Amino acid sequence: KQRFYKTAAAFVLRTIAKHSVKLANSVVESGALTSLVQCLEEFDPGVKESASWALGYIAKHNEDLAKAVVDAGALPLLILCIQEPELSLRKIAISALSDIAKHSSELAHNIVDTNALFFLAQLIHNSDPKLLRQVCSCLCQIAKHNITLAEEVVDREIFPRVLYCLKNNDVYVQKNAASLVCEISKHSIDLAQIIVNAGGIAAIIDYIDNAKGTAKLPGIMTLGYISVFSNTLAFSVLLAKPIPILLKILVEKNITDESVLSACVWTLGQMGRHSPEHAKILTDHGVLHILLKLLQSFPADKEEFVDLKSKIKKTLKWILENTLDLESLEPLLSLDTPLTVLKPTIEQLTKILPHDVTLRRDFVTSGSLKILQEIAQKYVSKDNSNSTYYSKLAENIMIINNCYPEEIVKYYSPGYSEILLSRIDEYMQQTCSINI
């Protein structure tokens, strides 16, 4: 009979604490933590479960409340709970640990110091999806804080088992496993290499392709984090062919969350920023054109999608700085292209046109030289008192123009046809006067 009272009392405390920080503080200030922790020592699993649940609901609100739960002595008893045979008790106890760990590295270290990782790593082999959700989530909340904690998690040999969770039938297990891999990958090149060596890139790409909506986010970010550290790791990601999948997400932007689009754009930038070889793989897939089209689809005069537009511009700049392919650069030469994209595009042209006669000829026959003169007319003043006359853009356009005879540049300059027509009129007048 006593155990039913305790279960019910813990339930009441949980339902009060879950609503707000203020109510959770009231529960703590009433001295309920001591009683709840004592309930974790009860023999009855139902009492333990109800108490674990209440402690988790208190701890989830903020770091101070989570610390109060830890200071009350809950951690060792919660660790004992996850060793019990009842799945529901294990699940709720792990959930409470996750709610504590998420707030700070100090709290996460407290959990690690109680040897929680040993038991959590064993449970990652469990087949119950609801338990796996909580295990992956708790490991994720521990690993996210710093490299030391992430290494502690990895040292428990969770790979490659955690990658198998990406193929679990339960979508929440998949997402939590992807989040765990993501939080590990961001800390160091060594941790990223461990994921790569375990076959993580292919598993993550497959996860992104099959996940829906914002569930794609941790997978996309993982590819970006791995690519950040070195050109070798970025090349490993590129060779696994994630670009078509990422571009598919960008093309379907109308049904995609902004955070997912931003992650895609950022990840593409991390892949392509290392060298011309990396950038070439991206440009061969039309990444520059698709990113420019995406940027132009947002109204420039509206304060919407600010973060996304900023990331697109940065990514375009990163890739352009390593692009030495005329065919990839020419489509970006347009009066409709934003100036922030035109500047690095024209700067790249100055690196390749002066050194290749064939490319200079192709630049003319494709109509790009004509477009360049139109861009100059729009953005560069002919008045030397104007600041644009001495701008970097003006200098780069001059470098390209100097690759050609003066009459060729004049021929493709705006208004030159009218000058020629006026000369015809003058010539006709002179001819008529001679005949007279």
**Four-CA torsion 13, 14, 16, 21, nearest 10 degrees:** 110
- What is the predicted pLDDT for the residue at 420? 60
CA-to-CA separations, 296 to 245, 339, 348, in angstroms, rounded: 21, 12, 21
- What is the predicted pLDDT for the residue at 392? 87
pLDDT digits (tens, 9 = 90+) for 90-148: 999 999 999 999 999 999 999 999 999 999 999 999 889 999 999 999 999 999 999 99
Confidence band of 434 (pLDDT split at 50, 70, 90): low
pLDDT digits (tens, 9 = 90+) for 222-268: 999 999 999 999 999 999 999 999 999 988 866 668 899 999 999 99
Confidence band of 18 (pLDDT split at 50, 70, 90): confident
- What is the predicted pLDDT for the residue at 424? 65
CA distance 364 to 353: 11
Return the higher-pLDDT residue of 21 and 335.
Answer: 335
> Where in 225-328 does DSSP place strands (E)?
none
pLDDT at residue 435 is higher than 70: no
- What is the predicted pLDDT for the residue at 243? 94
Nearest C-alpha neighbor of 21 from the set 81, 78, 65: 65
- What is the predicted pLDDT for the residue at 198? 93
Nearest C-alpha neighbor of 50 from the set 93, 102, 2, 83: 93
Q: H/E element holding 193?
A: helix 189-197
CA distance 418 to 429: 17
pLDDT digits (tens, 9 = 90+) for 374-433: 888 888 777 666 666 668 888 999 999 998 888 888 888 876 666 666 666 665 555 555
- What is the predicted pLDDT for the residue at 421? 61
Query: What is the mean pLDDT of the segment spanning 2-21?
Result: 77
Domains of the chain plus CATH, in order, are 1-103 (1.25.10.10), 324-436 (no CATH)
- What is the predicted pLDDT for the residue at 41? 80
Residues with Cβ within 8 Å of 72's Cβ and at least 6 positions away in sequence, in order, are 33, 34, 36, 37
Identity (one letter) of the amino acid at 331?
P
pLDDT at residue 169 is higher than 90: yes
Longest dimension (CA), the chain: 128
Nearest C-alpha neighbor of 111 from the set 157, 72, 70, 82: 70
Confidence band of 173 (pLDDT split at 50, 70, 90): very high
CA distance 436 to 432: 6
pTM of the model: 0.86
pLDDT at residue 13 is higher than 80: no
- 198 burial level (CB within 10 Å; 0-12, 13-18, 19+): middle
pLDDT digits (tens, 9 = 90+) for 63-73: 898 999 898 88
- What is the predicted pLDDT for the residue at 39? 84
Q: What is the mean pLDDT of the chain?
A: 87
pLDDT at residue 11 is higher than 90: no
pLDDT at residue 187 is higher than 60: yes
pLDDT at residue 24 is higher than 90: no
